[in-house]
Amino acid sequence: MAWYDFFANFYDRSLDGLYRDARAAALQALAPAPGQRVLDLPTGTGPSTEGLARAVGPTGRVIGVDLSRGMLRRATARATRLRDDPALAPIELLHGDVHALTPELTGGPVDALHVFLGMSTFPRPDDAFERLWATLRPGGRCVVVDVFAAKLGFQGRMVNLVARADIRRRSWELLERVATDFTRTDLPSRRQHGGTLFLAVGVKPG
Ligand SMILES: C[S@@+](CC[C@H](N)C(=O)[O-])C[C@H]1O[C@@H](n2cnc3c(N)ncnc32)[C@H](O)[C@@H]1O
C-alpha cells in the first residue's frame, strides 16, 4: 500500500469537494439507525466516518478498515478530533485487507455496509464483495458508491492511475446479484470523476 501511504498526504485536500455530495447521498441511502454497527470499508482517511457516527449515535459503532497504514493514520487523527463529541458513535479503526476479512474481525455481523470508492480499487472485486457481504447480517443494508466508465477517456485513465483503480468494472452488479430491494442511481458527475458516479443500494435477504 505504499502508494496510498503517500497519497494520504494530499488525499483529503484533493478529493474532499469532489465527493462531498456523493458521500451525503450514500449516507442518506444507507440510512443507518441509532444503535447500529456500520462497517466502512475501505475507510481511507475516514471522510465518511463522522456522518456515519452521527447517524448511529453514541450507542452505535463505526468500524473502519483499510489496508494502508498512511490512510489509517489520517483516519485516526480525524477520529481523535471527534472523540469528545457526545452525539457520535465510537469510531474503531482496523488495519486489514478486504481479501482476509472475516466476520470475526468486525466482532460479529454488522447492521450496515458502506463501500465508498472501494470496489474499483480492490484487487479481486468478486472475492472482496463476497467477504464484505458475509459480514452483513440478514436484513442489513449495503451501499456501494463508485465510478464507472465503459470506455476510458484521458480523465478516466488518470483516475485509474492515481487511484490504482479499474473504473471499467460494473461493480454494482455484484450487489445486484445477491440483494433484495436493489436500486442503482447515477449521481451528478464531473469531468474529474473520470466516468459516471453511481450509487447502488440493497438489502441482504433475511
Ligand atoms: C479511493 S480510496 C477510498 C477511500 C475512502 N472510502 C473514501 O471514500 O475516500 C481507496 C482505498 O482503498 C484501500 N484499499 C485498496 N485495496 C485494499 C484492500 N485490499 N483492502 C483494504 N483496503 C484497500 C486503499 O488503501 C484506499 O484507502
Element (H, E) at 13: helix 11-30
Residue 141's domain comprises 2-203
For residue 164, the domain's CATH number is 3.40.50.150
Ligand 1 within 6 A of CB of 42 = yes
Q: What is the pLDDT of residue 1?
A: 79
Calpha distance 98→105 (Å, rounded): 11
* Global model pTM greater than 0.75: yes
Q: What is the pLDDT of residue 7?
A: 94
Q: Which three cell numbers stand for residue 190?
A: 464531473
* Count of domains observed in the chain: 1
Q: What percent of the chain has pLDDT over 70?
A: 100
pLDDT (tens digit per residue) in 69-110: 999 999 999 999 999 999 999 999 999 999 999 999 999 999
Ligand 1 within 6 A of CB of 71 = yes
Nearest CA to ligand 1 atom 8: 116
Preceding amide of 138 cis, omega within 30: no
Nearest CA to ligand 1 atom 3: 117
Q: What is the pLDDT of residue 84?
A: 94
Ligand 1 within 6 A of CB of 4 = yes
Residue 137 has pLDDT above 90, yes or no: yes
Strand pairing report for 196-203 and 180-186: antiparallel
Ligand 1 within 6 A of CB of 133 = no
Ligand 1 within 6 A of CB of 5 = no
Q: Which three cell numbers stand for residue 166?
A: 479499474
Q: What percent of the chain has pLDDT over 90?
A: 99
What is the average pLDDT score of the chain? 97
Mean pLDDT within 147-155 = 97
Please report the atom of ligand 1 found closest to the CA of residue 115: 6
Considering only the C-alpha atoms of the chain, give the largest distance between any 2 of them, rounded to a whole number of Å.
46
Mean pLDDT within 159-175 = 97
Q: What is the pLDDT of residue 34?
A: 98
Residue 25 pLDDT level (bands cut at 50, 70, 90):
very high
Q: What is the pLDDT of residue 192?
A: 96
Mean pLDDT within 132-143 = 98
Residue 164 has pLDDT above 90, yes or no: yes
Ligand 1 within 6 A of CB of 116 = yes
